[in-house]
Amino acid sequence: DLREKQEQPVVSVNFKRVLARVLKYWYLLVVSAIIALSIAHLVNRYATPIYPVTASIIIRESEENAGAKFLYDNS
């Protein structure tokens, strides 16, 4: 009987009632969405872009393994 005391009551949600309350204040949702999208646009517009940097080395030598020798045996 200890289990019966520990069980939580079942909560049912009336979705029609929730939707009616949300739609009652539809203009606040629209205004909030416009403000949020405007802020996101401004942040993305004026943020400094960060680009990844990559580099490659081209070594032209007459020997086949000269490039590997230069890279691995050079201090």
Quick: pLDDT tens for 36-70. Answer: 999 999 999 999 988 888 888 776 666 665 556 66
- What DSSP letter does each residue of 28-49 carry, written as one string? HHHHHHHHHHHHHHHHHHHSPP
5: DSSP letter:
H
Dist CA 66 CA 58 (whole Å): 11
| Share above pLDDT 90 across residues of the chain, in percent, rounded to a whole number | 43
Find the length of the chain: 75
Instruction: Give pTM, 2 decimals.
Output: 0.47
Closest CA to 57 of 74, 37, 42, 39: 74
